[in-house]
A and B are shown apart, each in its own frame.
Chain A
Amino acid sequence: MKDFKKYFIVLLITAGLFAVAWSASEYFNDQKIAEIQKAQDQATVDVMSSETQFDLLEEQSCQDIGNNYLAQEISDLADKISYAEQNINDQTQIALLKQQYSVLEVKDFLLNKQISARCKTPIATILYFYKTDNTCADCTKQGYVLDALRQNYPQIRVYSFDAGLDSSTIRALLTIYKVPDNLPALIINGKTKSGFMSMDDITKLLPKTVINPVTPKATTSTPAVTSKKQVIPTSQTSQ
């Protein structure tokens, strides 16, 4: 029995090393979730700042209103949530973050619509509804198309919503836009389209002034400050 004592001790040491690795993983994953939460909180504040700024500058020039930087901020957030979804085990926490993220997207979407309406500037927004389960065969392909679209046309705002997520906001959107069950579905500037759409199909439905914007002759003189670090650049489309 003495001979096997070492085997048992090594077993304990190995299990201990696994416990250390697991603890380290948990610690860093918690840090990542906290980082997403922090970024999400920051984005929420920034959206609210833009909304407030929008209200305050009602009488000002439309050139002073902009929230394009939010697109990048929200896009980065989406990347992190997507990464966390695949690499972090705590899916309950991830689902909560996704719900918060969906609300944030909707707020940014509404703000953009308001800016567009007031300033009479054309915008290109796409709401994309997908599912991560096996019921949506074309969602992967649609995702590739939208990724490419966003990279080729950064001025297009794409808001992705997991229709399988238990979120009242997403349910409301599904109802308002009469999104059918067969996903993927896209709401392109207010028009609901169901089924897979190629890049050409999508760009045909977007305003040409957004797809091929005219370079502005001069930039605005006074950028609007929204937070300690963030400076809102002027909208490329507002002339």
Chain B
Amino acid sequence: MTVGEIITYAVIFLAVYVQVFLFVTYLEHRKKLPQLMSQDVPEIHNPPKVAIIVPCWNEEKTVHGTIASILALDYPQDRLEVIAVDDGSTDTTWQELQYYKDNPRVRIFQKENGGKHTAINFGIDNTDAEIIGGLDADSFVAPDALKRMVAMFQADPAVMAVTPSLIVHNPKNLLQYAQRVEYNMSTYNKKMLSFLGAIHVTPGPFSLFRKSLFDQIGKFRKAHNTEDQELAYRMQKNHMKIEHCVNAYVYTSSPNTVKKLYKQRLRWIYGFIQNTIDYRQLVFNREYLNFSFFTLPSGIISIIAVVFLSGTFLYDLIVFIIKKITQYSTIGFTTTRFHFNFSLFYINTQTVFFITIILYVLLIFSIVMGTRLNQQGKGFDWHIILYIVVYSIIAPFWLLKAVWNTITGRRQPAWR
């Protein structure tokens, strides 16, 4: 066995380990899922005051929809306020926000541009609400989501943050359908991580936090354009509980071109690498259990796996091209007789082939379960194949670029 084969097997072993770990977690907690998926909207007694901050930077076209979706939430009106913060927009966002100046449920602010996290921090400083969340202009919330999430805060005083399930809103092209599959899988993964107490990101769209959290560990910090991830790392470091409300749905727009998706994912992956480096003391630290022994290592493994497998693929491609060049330089472009001679004999039966099948079965299981959790269908549909094919082709590019940027110390572009 060559060194390359040993590394390949090691990488695949770890990838299978991660999927098996999630699967075993599912088996441990599967009986809880029907209850967590209940359609009944919980009754909230003594509803806490909730503030949803809408950071706006040149959102003249979407800000009304975002605010309208918050105002339409099923929650006592006097206990919910919207804080719209214009972060130095250069378009007519501020003029659009004037529409709400007399609305007692909406407070509008304007500040100099400083980035999304400064706009949210501004909102945090200007509210006395017990529960605070944010909502990007490209996302919409299901009306019952807030009640479900607040119920989780009330059920367990130790819960300091609750994340929703994200669903791709109204996919139109194949890329967006592929992303919808990915988001569904993320819901499954997020729920399993929440069972493990090991969530590593509180997504910008509608994650909710106790106000006391910010008093204890501070507000959002500038963190490689992935401030929502840094906050989750900081919470884990301070042993604060993050829950995932599986049936609180937030619909978010997804990039509709490969270029936009590439930029978004480059930012996410680069942010993950940088935040993990910043919080490297949490990796394999017994004090943090699953977060340090599973969440962070599995993220690192996935990056190493993609880098290694992409490198192997590239090497094989180069060897193939050299072989073809040698072939053509030797015999030229001769027309050879085509004969299709299919035989089962030539089907790959190497160990790595069967392991890859096992890996894909586990992966597809997580997608199917995630699809069910997101109530986007009941089983397998062909978009899963689409997702696997599309992401196998394009994901290595942003992963490799993120690693390259980390190695070369290149900074990421702003979040928008």
Contacts and interface: CB of A to CB of B under 8 A. Distances in A.
Contact of B24 (A6, A24, A148, A198): A6
A32 B353 CA distance: 16
B25 to A, nearest CB: 8
A131 interface: no
A140 interface: yes
Given A9-B24, A11-B17, A80-B345, A20 B354 contact: yes
A28 interface: yes
User: What are the 4 closest A-B residue pairs judged by CB atoms, nearest first?
Assistant: A21-B354, A28-B349, A25-B351, A151-B336
A57 interface: no
Interface in B333-376: 334, 336-337, 341, 345-346, 348-355, 358
A13 interface: yes
Given A14-B13, A20-B354, A152-B334, A141 B326 contact: yes
B20 A10 contact: yes
A71 to B, nearest CB: 14
26 contacts: A6-B21, A10-B21, A14-B13, A14-B17, A14-B20, A17-B355, A17-B358, A18-B13, A20-B354, A21-B351, A21-B354, A21-B358, A22-B351, A25-B354, A29-B349, A32-B345, A32-B349, A80-B345, A83-B345, A87-B349, A144-B330, A145-B330, A148-B334, A152-B337, A198-B330, A199-B331
A14 B16 contact: yes
Contacts of B309: none
A152 B21 contact: no
B236 to A, nearest CB: 15
A3 interface: yes
Contacts of B337: 151-152
A5 B351 CA distance: 28
Nearest to B337: A151
A13 B16 CA distance: 10
Interface in A118-176: 140-141, 144-145, 148, 151-152
A35 interface: yes
Interface in A10-64: 10-11, 13-14, 17-18, 20-22, 24-25, 28-29, 32, 35
B154 interface: no
Interface of B: 13, 16-17, 20-21, 24, 289-290, 293, 323, 326-327, 330-331, 334, 336-337, 341, 345-346, 348-355, 358
A195 to B, nearest CB: 14
A144 B331 contact: yes
A140 B326 contact: yes
Contacts of A152: 334, 336-337
Chain A residues touching B, range:
20 to 34
Given A25-B349, A148-B331, A199-B334, 17 more contacts: A9-B24, A11-B17, A14-B16, A17-B355, A17-B358, A18-B355, A20-B354, A21-B355, A25-B351, A28-B349, A32-B345, A32-B349, A80-B345, A87-B349, A141-B330, A144-B326, A145-B331
Contacts of A17: 16, 20, 355, 358
Nearest to A4: B293
Contacts of B341: 76
Nearest to B17: A14
Contact of B351 (A4, A7, A18, A199): A18
A23 to B, nearest CB: 9
Contacts of B13: 14, 18
A198 B95 CA distance: 79
A8 B58 CA distance: 51
B327 A144 contact: yes
A25 B21 contact: no
With most chain A CB atoms within 10 A of its CB, the pick from B326, B331, B336, B337 is: B331
A32 B349 CA distance: 9
B80 to A, nearest CB: 39
Contacts of B290: 3
A144 B336 CA distance: 12
With most chain B CB atoms within 10 A of its CB, the pick from A10, A25, A145, A148 is: A10
Contacts of B350: 25, 87
Given A21-B355, A28-B349, A32-B349, A13 B24 contact: yes
With most chain A CB atoms within 10 A of its CB, the pick from B24, B290, B330, B334 is: B330
B251 to A, nearest CB: 34
Nearest to A22: B351
Given A17-B20, A18-B13, A87-B348, A25 B331 contact: no
Nearest to B353: A25
Nearest to A140: B326
Contacts of A25: 349-351, 353-354
A17 B330 CA distance: 45
Contacts of A6: 21, 24
A13 B352 CA distance: 17
A224 to B, nearest CB: 25
Contacts of A7: 21, 293
B17 A10 contact: yes
A32 B143 CA distance: 60
A151 B336 CA distance: 6
Contacts of B24: 6, 9-10, 13
